Structure formats: structure tokens, C-alpha cells
Amino acid sequence: MEIQIISKEIIKPSASTPHHVKTYKLSGKDQIADLAYFPIILFYSPTNEISSKNSDHLKKSFSKTLTLFYPFAGRIKDHSSIDCSDEGACYIEAHVTGNMSVIVQQPDIHQLEQLMPCKLEENLLELSTRVMLAVQVNYFDCGGIAVSIFISHRVADGSSLASFVKRWSAISCGGDLNIVDGVVIDCTSLFPPQDFSVIKLHENFRNDNSSTKTVTKRFVLDGPKVAVLREKLSNGPYLDRPTRVEAVSALMWGAFVGEESESKKVNKVAMHVVDLRKRLDPPLPQHCIGNIVHTTVANWPEKVVDFNGLAGKIHESISMINNDFVRKVSADGTDQGLLSEIAKDPNNWSLFCFSSWCKFPFYETDFGWGKPTWVGAAMKFMPRGAFFLDTRDGEGVEAWVTLSEEAMVKFEKNPDILAYASSSPSI
């Protein structure tokens, strides 16, 4: 697969950002988010609607969307704010030699990285001072298109990215360009800015065991397998019936913990990133941007793996995240709680991290040539962790798992993983 860059430019919002909102305040949640970028890639099969004329149309709709999500066209000003100066976002077009089917037959993270504006492992600190958002539109010889979007974690979470993509596609299809109420909200009253000395928290997790080479692989649990798994983990002493994400998380955490049964690390912890928008009272609009999330911590003290127990611990840790809890920990400065303790000496803890974009409407993204045939993220999520997306039918779970090379070999051979998940199946 050869990729030739056709054009690379900075696209500005179609209308100037009003002077009174030129500064976007970063909340405490935004401040502790690391400076990394995270991606989504949308693959579209060849159709009669796809043609070269869509190039200018897509750029124009992109520019109009930036008007609504104006912090994405800004630049980091300091530790507490974004300068919404309308400097623009990076927009790249590329020609890809070959057929798109070669990639989706067995998606590989290294191939997918070539379709992105930047590679995941590159040092993006310099880029982060220049752009908040970068897009690469890849045109294949076969007529297919892959649209990859990179966004800075400092200004957005997964829901923010989903909102931007949804609005961009709607405008591309002729949707109204009315300002969406509640896209940009000052969340500093909810999550007060923090002392910059604690901002390295997530970087500590990423740098844990940095000398150990990690690999990222894709595992797919289709709808029927997930249904069987949920049934197996139901009606136990810890939990009646887990959700789809709880069940798959328990399966993967259990496989990891089982292989570490002889480890001296007594603290076996699973962390989940939880969207707070609907958990606050009053709730925030789902389409508002920023890092409006909380990281839960579930601890398994036993040596023997009990999947119903693991699912129960995960369920318990997520269920406690309600309006009263969030406002209390934000107000008294204990927002990061156990996370800060773990970050001081991560080698003392057996951590497995989860983040889920399940139920985000990426498969509904239609720029005018139909919905995606596949949505990939190729996410390297922490040194040990799993990142979840829906399968196309919305019933299964696609997991991008990152582990050390040694741990991955054991994980792939784990009988419970083999029973429910397929490794890198074709789309």
C-alpha cells in the first residue's frame, strides 16, 4: 500500500468566532488529560455518489462545522485556556494505491496508522501547540474512502469527537448550520482548574514500564457471543446481569488477572472511563465538548478469578458515579483520589484500563455517500488496556487490546478469550 499526499492545508472556520468567546477555559478534567491525540477512522465502500467533486464540498462543510466547534480551531494558550483565534485545523488529502478491501480483510494497526494524519507513537507535543484537530481523507484506487480524524485529548473526549463527526456529516448532507445550543460550555465551575503539578497523572500511567515493548491487537466478540457471555455471568452472588461492556470487561480483566496470579502485586485494579454528561443533575447536553468524564477504580482482592465477581466489582465502581459523587470529589479536590496514589508508584499495582465508545453513533456517519462499512480506532490505550467500539450491527464489541509482547501471547491463548473472541477477523 502506497500513500501519496495530494494536499495539506489549514482550514479555518467559515465565520469568525465572536470576541466574547475567544478564550475557552480548560476545566480540571481537561487539564489532567494528556497531550496525546486519539483517532477514529471511517471506511466507506465505493458507491456512485463518491466522486472527486466531493473534495471541495467536504472541505466547505468541515469549515462550517469548525464555526460551531470553534475551540477545535484554536491553539493551546496556557495551562488553563485555549485561544480560539480561528487559526484553523489541519486537513490532508491522500491517494492510496490499491484496494480498500486489502486493509479491511484483516485490519492491522500499522497499516491503519498510515491513513492517519500522524502515527500514534510519534511525539505530538509540537503538533499539539499548533492544532487541536487534524483530518486525513484517503482516496483509494477502488473508489473507496477512509476518513481519519485526530483530535487533541486536551480539548475533547470520545463524546466530543462523536458530536463533531455527527455534525460535520449532517452539514455535508445539507443540514442546517444553526448554532447548536450547548456545544461549548464553561465547565470550570463543575470541575475547577487544578494545580499544574498534578497534570502529569495520565502520562505517569502511559510511561509505566516504558522499557517494555507493547503490541496492540484487535479482538472481536460478535453479538451472539456477547449474549452468551452475559448469560454466563448472570445470576451470580455479585451481579444479576452485566451490561455488554461490563461482561466483556470482566472477561478481559479476568484473562489478564489469571495470568498474573503468581504476581506479587496484590492490588488488582480495573479502571473505566465513564461519561458524566447524563449522570449530572441537571444533565449536560450529550454534544457538549470537553473532557466530561471520570475514571472509576474496581479492585479485585482475591487470587482466584471469578468472572461474575469481576463484573460485579466493575458494575459497583461505575454505579457509584452519580451527581452527588462527582460534585463532592470535584469540590473537595479528591477528584483523582486513588488514581493519584497509583500514579506515585504504578509498578506496585496490577492495572488494566478500559475505555468504551460503544453506543456512539459513528456508524450513522453519512457524508453523502452512505454509512461506513467499518469504523476503526486502532487505539493504543495505556500500557495495559482495552478500547471498545461497537460492531456494525451494534450488538457486538470490537476491542483494541494493548499489552506487553509476553502478556499478549498469553492473552491470545487464554481459553476464555478463545471461547468468545476472534483475533483480527475480516470485516
Q: Annotated catalytic sites, by residue?
A: 153, 366
Q: How would you list the strands of the sheet with 133-140, edge to edge?
A: 2-11, 89-97, 133-140, 145-152, 37-44, 374-376
Burial class of residue 38 in the structure, from the number of CB atoms within 10 Å of its CB (0-12 exposed, 13-18 middle, 19+ buried) = buried
Match 448550520 to its residue by C-alpha cell.
Answer: 177
CB 131 within 8 A of CB 60: no
- Look at strands 133-140 and 89-97 and give their pairing: parallel
Answer whether the bond into residue 282 is a cis peptide, omega within 30°: yes
Match 468472572 to its residue by C-alpha cell.
Answer: 307
Q: 412 — phi, psi (to 5°)?
A: -65, -30
Of 104, 6, 23, give the one whose Cα is nearest residue 59. Answer: 6
Cα 291 from Cα 297, distance rounded (Å): 18
Burial class of residue 398 in the structure, from the number of CB atoms within 10 Å of its CB (0-12 exposed, 13-18 middle, 19+ buried) = buried
Secondary structure element (H or E) that encloses residue 190, with its range:
none
